[in-house]
Amino acid sequence: MKPQPECAACVLRRAVFEANLVDPAKAMEVVKGVLQTLCEKFDETKPSIKVWTAVHRKVYDILGTDDPYKELKRKSNDIAMEMFPLALEYYKKSQDKLRAAELLAIAGNILDFGVSIKDPEDFRRKFQEILKEGIYHDDTEQLKKYLKGHVVYLTDNCGEIVFDKILIRELRKYVDKITLLVRGKPILSDATIEDVYYVGLHKEVDEVKTTGIFAVGVDLDIVPPEIKELLYSADLIIAKGMGNYEALSETDLRPIVYMLRTKCDPVARDMGLPRDVNVVKLYPP
């Protein structure tokens, strides 16, 4: 995906949010740094993730931190683990296990403090609402023919990875091997390998790999060759969340299924879908 007009304001808001998490006194310096980065790089011809990665690199450098979200991520994981029994009950009671597991994994995608939700109570309420909404764009039927062999599962946020457990357990009924691919370095509220071990998701998969890099989503231009090889050799890629969509929507990786909630207009527009809906979208369709 390419940057769209609304994205500049959004990434600036996010940068202020990060400054306020770490050192509010540096917020003006952060904003000026981000403006400089955007002046150099914000362009409708560049892959959007490269611009966002450069912005967050700049912000983290100014703030002198390698992870402004550290505490929030821990909190997200804890809240999600607290909610897990309820989610599991929902799954067990559902007739259509695969769709129920997909929907839970998508609902977990709203667990990003400061973007979609304000506090744990807000999360619980929205999580229930999302389960009621169901999957708006649903390629689950077409997806089934690709559910075999080796699946590479690209995670997104902390907290969300707890709900991924249920989907991964369900996938086990269909596939031979599941590799989890997580971010190589802390960026935004995305899960790293430490989070996977913290919530115990490593026990559900055959292997856990990291991209090895600091990047929004998965930047195929800079990941190590073995990660590229892993992705191109998979029988199916499951990509969670908008960052992974932005990163991979213009690559030739196939088959790939995006599971996400359209939390902003640019991503919704790019996918040809409304905003604020739950999506299981397969390429090729």
The one segment of 22-30, 151-159, 171-179, 232-240 that binds a second copy by CB under 8 A: 22-30
* 8 scored as a contact of a second copy (CB under 8 A): yes
The one segment of 26-34, 101-109, 130-138, 186-194 that binds a second copy by CB under 8 A: 26-34
204's tokens: 């559900």
H/E/C letters for each residue in 219-263? CCCCCCHHHHHHHHHCCEEEEEHHHHHHHHCCCCCCCEEEEEECC
* 149 scored as a contact of a second copy (CB under 8 A): no
Contacts of 227 (CB under 8 A, 6+ apart): 181, 209, 211, 212, 218
- Which residue matches tokens 């690559």? 251
Per DSSP, 79 falls in state H
**C-beta separation of 151 from 172 below 8 A:** no
Nearer to a second copy, 78 or 276 (CB): 276
- Min dist CB 189 to a second copy, Å, is 19
* 215 scored as a contact of a second copy (CB under 8 A): no
Binding mask 33-72 for a second copy (x = CB under 8 A): -xxx-xx--xxx----------------------------
Cα distance between residue 255 and residue 238, in whole Å: 9
How many residues bind a second copy (CB under 8 A)? The answer is 24
- Min dist CB 19 to a second copy, Å, is 7
Binding site for a second copy (CB under 8 A): 3-6, 8-10, 12-13, 16, 19, 27-28, 30-32, 34-36, 38-39, 42-44
